[in-house]
């Protein structure tokens, strides 16, 4: 409860009152000189008494006004009115309440004495300004989820890149101020496959490279804003281990804004679900390395050399992709071990074993045609955004980037910075062309995320020998033999897949 405010009068006020009080007896005395001493004395006493009475009434009336205008419990709404231009009655009241308005509006109430009630009142006054709330929260390091005011503030200041901006043409810029976007040891959900520093990698500069598009800039990734866009929604990555790599990255980008106890990770068969309770949102990964049915669909036991696919069979997987708000597809790396693909004659359920072989690009186009038809038939274009990630490259031959002394991607510590140099690291451009053409011809609007060329420059960002192999950590003896054991397919985290997710983030918030 706020104590009653005591009015403060300036010396000028007391001076004027004293002058008025002293002048009245003087005037009366002059009149008494012409009308006799005793009568004059009585009149003077009467005048003095009346003056005191009138002055007392005046002071009493002012105190009543003060109490009426400043009751003991002051509603917050009155303070808001004062902040927005409420004109106080009486000039001297500005001595009791001062309003300082600048980039951070602060309202100070000047009250004689102090108490816990006074402090509570000041806190109540400050909390009426949403800008103060947001700034205070940011200064305190933010928090988990649920503060809509903070998210609204972030939404107001964010700059959306032009829709026609080409994110994928640009350069890698070293930036150890804003990157990495999170710390490896702060993301509890990373698997041993991608925790390169924990697994013994000594250089960390691969974490500090930021992609700068040529004609625009990527918006800063704001986890709470992304979570707000995902409220009551599902984001699902579908595909092979590179999409799982990107899924882990997205979890790490988001989980720092979620308080402990409000996030869970569960795996059931081919589906892994990271759930954020405060937002009723999920970030999911569904294992389907070829998108269609194959003999490699087991999420745990899929190290099969003779990979066989059913190019026209997708329903078994597709039923798990329905009613998802953001779908992110990929398929590439599992196509690269043979030049021709084995196509099953019949079905796995019927025990068929015979197959035929067709060229890789032909099989790839059949699969993506099946996939595109499924998307066009089953995805609600008014609800769901669909993305297709282009090919994530390999770095197997160091001669591809003019390093005759290198061993695959091992010991590479910097990107290829000469972007004008013709670069060929073995990416199958025929499959790239098929994916670009199929996604362009679909009825459903699909964002083709061209991550291939910019990722080809990142020979430094692979897990190399700082990873696991067939479920077991690469041993020191194996690390000494990178020609055999270096993984130049997958990527360390934090790292390159965070950039891929920055592209997704920019597209999602722009449409939302």
What residues are annotated to the active site? 241, 487, 490
Closest CA to 488 of 426, 428, 437: 426
Contact (Cβ atoms closer than 8 angstroms) between residue 393 and residue 500: no
Neighbouring C-beta atoms of residue 128, cutoff 10 Å: 16
Closest CA to 232 of 512, 24, 28, 432: 512
Phi/psi of residue 387, each to 5°?
Answer: -125, 145
Q: Strands 326-329, 468-469: parallel, antiparallel or unpaired by DSSP?
A: unpaired
Q: Would you call 25 helix, strand, or coil by DSSP?
A: helix
Secondary element (H or E) of residue 239 = strand 234-239
Cα–Cα distance, 166 to 173 (Å, whole number)? 17
Q: Give Cα separations from 139 to 105, 133, 142, 154, 257 (angstroms).
A: 16, 10, 7, 14, 15
Tokens of 489: 């397919």
Closest CA to 332 of 220, 195, 429: 429
End-to-end Cα separation, the chain, in angstroms = 45
Cα–Cα distance, 419 to 118 (Å, whole number)? 64
Q: Give Cα separations from 248 to 139, 358, 448 (angstroms).
A: 28, 34, 21
Q: Give Cα separations from 239 to 236, 340, 389 (angstroms).
A: 10, 20, 10
**DSSP-derived secondary structure for 263-306:** EEEEEETTEEEEEEGGGTEEEEEEE-TTSSEETT--SSS---SS
Structure letter (DSSP) for residue 95: G
Closest CA to 168 of 497, 451, 498: 451
Phi/psi of residue 202, each to 5°?
Answer: -95, -30
Q: Would you call 308 helix, strand, or coil by DSSP?
A: strand
**Residues for the chain: how many in total?**
512
Q: Is the dihedral of CA 223, 227, 228, 229 positive or negative?
A: positive
Q: ∠ CA(328), CA(333), CA(336), 5° rounding?
A: 145
Q: Strands 281-287, 271-276: parallel, antiparallel or unpaired by DSSP?
A: antiparallel
Closest CA to 325 of 294, 369, 279: 279
């Amino acid at each position: 409860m706020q104590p009653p405010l005591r009015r403060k009068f300036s010396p000028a006020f007391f001076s004027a009152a004293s002058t008025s009080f002293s002048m009245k007896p003087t005037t009366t005395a002059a009149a008494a000189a012409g009308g006799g001493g005793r009568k004059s004395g009585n009149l003077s006493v009467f005048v003095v008494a009346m003056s005191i009475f009138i002055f007392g009434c005046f002071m009493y009336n002012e105190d009543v006004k003060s109490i009426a205008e400043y009751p003991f419990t002051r509603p917050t709404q009155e303070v808001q009115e004062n902040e927005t231009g409420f004109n106080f009655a009486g000039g001297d009241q500005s001595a009791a309440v001062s309003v300082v308005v600048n980039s951070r509006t602060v309202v100070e109430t000047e009250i004689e004495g102090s108490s816990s009630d006074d402090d509570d009142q000041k806190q109540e006054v400050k909390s009426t300004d949403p800008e103060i709330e947001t700034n205070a929260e940011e200064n305190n390091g933010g928090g988990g989820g649920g503060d809509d005011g903070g998210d609204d503030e972030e939404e107001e200041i964010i700059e959306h890149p032009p829709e026609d901006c080409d994110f994928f043409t640009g350069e890698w810029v070293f930036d150890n101020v804003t990157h990495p976007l999170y710390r490896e040891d702060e993301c509890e959900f990373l698997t041993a496959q991608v925790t390169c520093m924990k697994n013994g990698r000594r250089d960390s500069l691969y974490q500090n490279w930021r992609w700068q598009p040529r004609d625009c800039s990527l918006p800063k990734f704001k986890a709470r804003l992304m979570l707000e866009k995902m409220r009551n929604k599902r984001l699902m990555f579908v595909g092979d281990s590179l999409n799982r790599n990107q899924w882990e990255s997205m979890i790490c980008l988001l989980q720092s804004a979620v308080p402990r106890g409000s996030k869970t990770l569960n795996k059931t068969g081919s589906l892994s679900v990271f759930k954020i309770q405060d937002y009723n949102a999920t970030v999911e990964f569904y294992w389907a390395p070829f998108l269609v049915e194959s003999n490699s669909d087991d999420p745990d036991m899929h190290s099969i050399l003779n990979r066989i696919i059913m190019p026209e069979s997708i329903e078994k997987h597709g039923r798990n992709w329905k009613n998802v708000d953001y779908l992110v597809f990929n398929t590439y790396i599992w196509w690269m071990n043979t030049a021709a693909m084995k196509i099953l004659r019949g079905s796995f359920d019927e025990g068929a074993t015979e197959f035929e072989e067709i060229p890789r690009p032909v099989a790839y186009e059949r699969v993506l045609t099946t996939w595109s038809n499924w998307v066009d038939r089953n995805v609600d274009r008014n609800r769901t955004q669909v993305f297709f990630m282009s090919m994530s490259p390999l770095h197997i031959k160091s001669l591809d980037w003019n390093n005759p002394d290198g061993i695959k991607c091992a010991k590479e510590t910097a990107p290829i910075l000469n972007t004008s140099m013709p670069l060929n690291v073995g990416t199958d451009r025929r499959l790239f062309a098929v994916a670009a053409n199929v996604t362009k011809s679909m009825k459903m609007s699909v964002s083709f995320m061209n991550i291939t060329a910019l990722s080809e420059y990142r020979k430094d960002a692979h897990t190399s020998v700082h990873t696991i192999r067939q479920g077991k950590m690469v041993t020191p003896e194996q690390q000494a033999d990178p020609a055999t054991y270096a993984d130049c397919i997958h990527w360390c985290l934090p790292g390159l897949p965070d950039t891929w997710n920055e592209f997704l983030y920019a597209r999602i918030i722009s449409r939302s």
